[in-house]
Structure 1
């Protein structure tokens, strides 16, 4: 009996406050999320309100016990939010966004940094509050815009393409802002040289991490693919994320930067979509904690006291971002209508603004009122965004009526002229390749030099002392640097532009030779910097010249071979995702569900003895004859006057239904191709870029049939699909052209080479 009573009155097990706080956070977040989903409002606002309700400034509901612990969870949330953003970002997307989006984003960000700063000064705020306000107002919300576009059904509109490009550029600018604001907060003053050095340091480390990451990580994931299930892939991805966070922190950057960079690196791998899918629940969980913690810092009393600044900053945000984004788009060559639509779509602030505001608080350089003001402005502009997107077109119509005819014509001419500016010259093409070789190899070499400087004291203290240790370090470093030094100093720049410049005029040869000498001198300087860490300048210079000379004469072919392998591996990893996606599209048998099928013509077929033009197979059945095999003779992409004979084996392209109807007509027996050589004719998708020799040419003028013995069976343009285009069809930039033919001959025409 006593034992039973003792059991009943046993004290309750005590739960750590962190667990009870987390339960309170997730419960409040879940309830508000359901309410805001029902109201069809952004869930982020629900999280903010949940944080306000369970925070220390609102006592009606149970309150969080340990704010500091929740801040740690929130910091983890920022890391995973930025990691997920990197997975969606991709540096290659940044390259592809084009000048229009880049100009728009740069004009908007610079304008809002200035407008935000001036607004803070006019409100009587101190300099740091004003600077951070400019940063908060400069970045628009990707989440809110995408949601609004989906609900309004405007994602496919032309102005939406510009907006998405602007958001991609802004993502990278936001990362740069985090670094620059951190530097500014540390120095407490605007030092131009220090800010410039921080920008250069950021650019260097981004490039170094990207080059190294693309070379190593996709290869590692590919090798380990057979061993990885979903659980292992998730653990490995998060481990890579946190390792890059540690690396970024050690280099003096924020953890968020490291997470973003690793996400961007993984975005180039074939596992990117799977990783994004696996990480999403983790990101959603910690993201919810982050946004709820943001809400906890909102003090309703401050909002009441600062209602006027909230109102002023909201108006400044809406009109400032509309005007600056619209002006940027207009300057980039967009029409007045599209510029206004883009500007009014970007008139809000969001998740990155919270992160910048949090940075100011964590570094203790901003006032307490700035954070809740930023959250309040974000909440108001989130509600106004869909209405401004709807009002964009009526606003344009009103402004267009008010504009004088001369102004309308001038804007139209400027837009048309900007859009049509294209073309290049030989010097531009050559310098682009020259600078690329210099920059990429220099970054890797400098990275090795930094590593030597950092590791040398540790190696000498722990392993080897004296000159022998120094010589070993130099030899190892030179071995690591050698392929990149060879590429920097000796590698030939294979370019038609280079050859043309050399041939065109003798006055080009002097500058070309000078540029080649500059490359060699730069390689010598890097070797001097390495050896100079251990020996005198004279010894370093003499050693550098000897090393370069020996490498160029004796080891050139070996270094070339080794560098080619490194370059091939890097490019294969860089393009792996695109190649994989192209293969998937080919596996899906084109967007039109077309594919190759093989038939043998029977003697009794009505097609026997008739020419292809007489049969009119494309007109009657929608199919194309890609190959005729007649004994040992193979007629690839046969001409219209070619006849069909008994026993001919033909390869035909079409959809399942088209091929079924064709088979009934020709009374042929389909067969499976077993001869490997018979598969020489296949389906190839190619993309027309700005440098393609096919750009602006019609199918007939392109020589695809005559020169490559190939056939254009379809074109994708602006999400529209054109099957069996006419011979007068002209190729435009970004067209995806589907060609049936031999791979080698197709590639020769694409590159503009004789087949």
Structure 2
């Protein structure tokens, strides 16, 4: 007999204990959620002859985790706005192109040096290129950096990555699953994804006066139901046209941030963001088999080192093109280091296509390491920047040199 309610209750208790422990240690809570999920996941072992593995409830917890991603990105969109995004349009395109160019090229070179066959090489390059929207959103909110000037670039890179992901998954899935792909189909998929994003942003901004009237609802219950309906419908529809559901949630948040009801939405959504966001990271831990990680240790460590270097270089370059300070540029590179849900999607594609079995443990260990150290690096950006400035002179950049006063003085 399955005791799903009891299992979920225990899961929430473990998540709460992890949060308390991280608060006691003054440490990022995300790694704790992931590690405790690994410890009690379907692939783990029994503890002291007591089976605490979450097996029957794992699919439901995974679904709750997907909801967590939606709330994380939706809330991040509320903290931003379409207006800020439009003003930063050019720098976002330039920054996103720089980020993809550097990290995707390094991913291809890494797979080639590792001696991987062509299909495995393409999958690994996808795994190492796309950052985790959920972890990035969580870190930005937890560290209260949503108002920082570089946050526009970070969000822009996330959205740019999703356009790239829509194209890339179309290509790789065609090669891996069917052995062929249509250039016309790839182009159509990319145009649909880009068109959908632009339509939601432009139409949503035009509809702000109408939304202000429609959302003038006294009852908090009805108000919240309307917001949830819009969020889930738009996010769900975006997934049907090969745009990540998380980006659909972000778009809804960006639009609603322009309305006069933004503060009310933010207040009501906050508990859902915290609860379901925690479940997302726990559910990710449930998917990792600890015993399968040993054979991919060195491969994963090498990829992590390459990713750190690539992200730092991309952040510095993108930040400089946008006129941001060196501190803000370092923050860009370190904030988007974490890898997560999109990397796992690529790894699952490799499994479905019958590619080398090492891809799965490689992706799991690689994602886990970066999910742990990514938030840590972001939290200590100021310390890291100070060290780099002293040791390397930060490639010739100096505090306040040839930079706007606001950017130069930004304290991260």
| TM-score with structure 1 setting the length | 0.46
Match of 1:133 among 124, 127, 131: 127
Residues 1:296 and 2:286 are matched in the alignment: yes
Is the Cα contact below 8 Å between 1:341 and 1:393 reproduced in 2? no
Residues 1:144 and 2:131 are matched in the alignment: no
Aligned partner of residue 120 in structure 1, secondary structure? helix
CA distance in 2, matches of 1:357, 1:73: 19
Structure 2 residues not aligned, in runs of 5+: 408-412
Q: Which residue of 1 aligns with 2:198?
A: 207
**Deviation (angstroms), 1:271:** 0.9
The 1:142/1:248 distance shift into structure 2, 3 A limit, reads closer
Aligned partner of residue 293 in structure 2, secondary structure? helix
Aligned partner of residue 334 in structure 2, secondary structure? coil
The 1:217/1:333 distance shift into structure 2, 3 A limit, reads closer
The 1:81/1:209 distance shift into structure 2, 3 A limit, reads same
**Deviation (angstroms), 1:102:** 5.3
Is the Cα contact below 8 Å between 1:132 and 1:360 reproduced in 2? yes
Residues 1:373 and 2:366 are matched in the alignment: yes
Deviations along 1:459-479, one digit per CA (max 9) or x if unpaired, are xxxxxxxxxxxxxxxxxxxxx
Q: Which residue of 2 aligns with 1:22?
A: 8
Is the Cα contact below 8 Å between 1:86 and 1:267 reproduced in 2? yes
Trace 1:70-469 onto structure 2 (pairs within 5 A): 70-97=61-88, 103-125=94-116, 126-136=120-130, 141-144=136-139, 147=142, 161=149, 163-188=150-175, 193-216=184-207, 218-225=209-216, 227-333=217-323, 338-339=325-326, 342-343=329-330, 346-347=333-334, 349=336, 353-361=339-347, 363=349, 364=352, 367-369=359-361, 370-387=363-380, 389-400=382-393, 416=402
Q: CA RMSD in A?
A: 3.4
Q: Write 1 or 2 for the structure with the bigger share of helix.
A: 2
CA distance in 1, matches of 2:348, 2:263: 33
Q: Which residue of 1 aligns with 2:410?
A: none
Structure 1 residues not aligned, in runs of 5+: 1-13, 421-716, 720-755
**Deviation (angstroms), 1:132:** 1.9
CA distance in 2, matches of 1:216, 1:329: 32
CA distance in 2, matches of 1:201, 1:113: 23
Aligned partner of residue 222 in structure 2, secondary structure? helix
Is the Cα contact below 8 Å between 2:130 and 2:161 reproduced in 1? no
Q: Write 1 or 2 for the structure with the bigger share of strand.
A: 1
**Deviation (angstroms), 1:88:** 2.9
Aligned partner of residue 376 in structure 2, secondary structure? helix
The 1:18/1:86 distance shift into structure 2, 3 A limit, reads farther
Deviations along 1:201-258, one digit per CA (max 9) or x if unpaired, are 2222223333444445652442451x43222211110011122234334545443343
CA distance in 2, matches of 1:251, 1:394: 45
Deviations along 1:244-275, one digit per CA (max 9) or x if unpaired, are 23433454544334333222221221112211
**Deviation (angstroms), 1:345:** 5.5
Is the Cα contact below 8 Å between 1:142 and 1:167 reproduced in 2? no
Q: Which residue of 2 aligns with 1:431?
A: none
CA distance in 1, matches of 2:160, 2:130: 12
The 1:72/1:395 distance shift into structure 2, 3 A limit, reads closer
Is the Cα contact below 8 Å between 2:73 and 2:249 reproduced in 1? yes
Is the Cα contact below 8 Å between 2:131 and 2:342 reproduced in 1? no
CA distance in 2, matches of 1:131, 1:190: 18
Q: What is the number of equivalent residue pairs in this alignment? A: 385
Aligned partner of residue 346 in structure 1, secondary structure? helix
Is the Cα contact below 8 Å between 1:310 and 1:377 reproduced in 2? no
Rg comparison, structure with higher value: 1
The 1:190/1:110 distance shift into structure 2, 3 A limit, reads farther
**Deviation (angstroms), 1:171:** 2.8
Q: Which residue of 2 aligns with 1:426?
A: none
Deviations along 1:95-153, one digit per CA (max 9) or x if unpaired, are 22375565344312321122123223323441342232233359783543565687xxx
CA distance in 1, matches of 2:215, 2:328: 47
